[in-house]
Amino acid sequence: MNVQNNANLKTATEVSPDWWRGGVIYQIYPRSFQDSTGDGIGDLKGIAQRLPYIASLGVDAIWISPFFKSPMKDFGYDVSDYRAIDPMFGTMDDFGALLEQAHALGLKVMIDLVLSHTSDQHPWFSESRANRDNPRSDWYVWADAKPDGTPPNNWLSIFGGSAWQWDSRRQQYYLHNFLTSQPDLNFHCTDVQDALLDVARFWLDMGVDGFRLDTINFYFHDSQLRDNPALPMDQRNASIAPQVNPYNHQDHLYSKSQPENIAFLERLRALTDEYEGRACLGEVGDAQRGLEIMGEYTSGDKRMHTCYAFEFLEKRALTAAYAKQVFDQLEDKAGDAWPCWAFSNHDVQRHASRWGLNDAAMRQYAVLMMCLRGSACLYQGEELGLPEADVPFEDLQDPYGIEFWPEFKGRDGCRTPMVWTAQDEQSGFSTGKPWLPVSSAQAERAVDQSERDTQSMLHHYRRAIALRHAHPALMSGAQVDMAQQGSVLTFLREDATEQVYCAFNLGTDAAEITLPKGNWRVIGEDLGSVHAAETVVLDAAQFCLLTREKR
């Protein structure tokens, strides 16, 4: 495919030090992006091979999910060596070459740091569990059993069951918010913080442009190990864990999101600020207080640059009423927060299927993402309009899905291999048998097919991203006057020189709205933006974008 001449390609000199503010970040799940060796697992050389394609989208950065050395019980989110690359993904030289090529194409590179926990095969944990008086004995969260032998408190694991695992070596329980093979680090120990900051410095020195920080609000636990209270039925929200998981039955007041976390985030930001143009993107996992925590973690200029919560990753439909509710809450709880939005990622069902979107709605949501205040994350294949893949039980790899099957099928359906060429046996992902089956339904939207059709979803995403970059007000301007008019969401984006009026019909029926008065001109016509003099009827999934100079 010829992407080298695409007008959206940027050179490194064109990238602002504040690229993250309003930037578009493309998430790569390395196991499933491109295999260069034929072993059925994607790798760093495969990513490098596809960098020109990514750059052709016009995005500002890539975020690569973990590629560190790992036993792969949770597919890289269980790290056994923070300073080594797992051989299945390649070598440090491969990463260096990828970094150099990305920078030459004007792409920033963010890597996924998993700091809240390690693998149980990490040398730190091997030493910590050996006995109670070794130098790393307090590097993990250890606690004695209750007198009856049961766990220290009622905390639950996101992956099911108690968050405590008995260890016969120390005759104590250790905390794991995820798999039993993912013990939580003890951030109350300063040596742990220092060691993790050294890890961050290692990769910053390598030349990475920032970090996506996994489960950023899980770093600290309540030092008193108080029980979490029960959560009333009407407040249970399955955005973080599936409805069938009893994790939703608790208000996680003490197992995460502790106030001590702020000081560590400020240490991490101070380290990052020693390097020009670097950024920290945090993942906030909290179904009840996600926006509030996001605001706390991005407040001022000493904490995280940006964070994302799960409001737009839920199964709940993104209606005009819900979008306004989210932004009203954000304004109320964290007016100066700089959010980052995602509709899909490696942990949730793809939004095309999750929200039951047709092609027109998918196109509208792509434009909406590019118009909302905040940064944006796109998940690999989202630009093709990929639906969720159907992975049969016998092919499942995700322990989460295996545990809660069939009511919850896990995360494999959004992690199947990227589809590059429709006619190839494995859609161009690999010459061998892939670790997850390639979806035939997704193959119909493969990159080679999409490139040929100028009206495809792929080209639509390119135009939408280009629109965002063409209007600084959409990149980093303020967002004001958000309103719900029936099924239509309207708002204004503005900076010192420009105003952009946005109206999106997120409903299923046509709706008439009155347009603002003044000397406006329509933009985004190539994306489907419609316009009329005073009023406009927006059909389902239609939108109107107008701009004018600010006086």
- What's the mean pLDDT in 242-260? 93
User: What pLDDT score was predicted for residue 6?
Assistant: 42
- What's the mean pLDDT in 543-550? 96
Read off φ and ψ for residue 308, nearest 5 degrees.
-125, 145
DSSP 255-300: SS--TTHHHHHHHHHHHHHTSTT-EEEEE---TTTHHHHHHHHHST
Cβ-contact 178, 74 below 8 angstroms: yes
Name the pLDDT band for 5 (thresholds 50, 70, 90): very low
- What's the mean pLDDT in 444-449? 97
User: What pLDDT score was predicted for residue 239?
Assistant: 67
Fill in the DSSP letter of residue 386: P
Please provide the CATH number assigned to the domain covering 12-117+190-470. Answer: 3.20.20.80
pTM, two decimal places: 0.96
Whether cis (ω within 30° of 0) applies to the bond prior to 66 is no
Fill in the DSSP letter of residue 534: S
CATH architecture of 478-549: Sandwich (2.60)
Domain boundaries, the chain: 12-117+190-470, 478-549
pLDDT in tens, 152-197: 999 999 999 999 999 999 999 999 999 999 999 999 999 999 999 9
Residue among 11, 19, 8 nearest 278 (CA): 19
Beta bridge partners of 512: 537
Instruction: Using the Cα atoms of residue 258, residue 264, residue 265 and residue 266 in order, give the sign of their dihedral.
Output: positive
Q: What is the rounded average pLDDT for all residues in the chain?
A: 95
Q: Is the pLDDT of residue 241 over 80?
A: no
- What's the mean pLDDT in 276-286? 96
Q: Is the pLDDT of residue 94 over 50?
A: yes
- The percent of residues in the chain predicted with pLDDT above 90, rounded, is 91
- The percent of residues in the chain predicted with pLDDT above 70, rounded, is 97
Cβ-contact 390, 38 below 8 angstroms: no
Cβ-contact 267, 289 below 8 angstroms: no
If one compares 504 and 244, the residue with the highest pLDDT of the two is 504
Catalytic (active-site) positions: 214, 274
Using DSSP's 3-state secondary structure scheme, residue 112 falls into strand
Cβ-contact 318, 326 below 8 angstroms: no
Q: Is the pLDDT of residue 12 over 80?
A: no
Using DSSP's 3-state secondary structure scheme, residue 469 falls into helix
Residues 6+ apart with CB under 8 A from 355: 315, 317, 318, 361
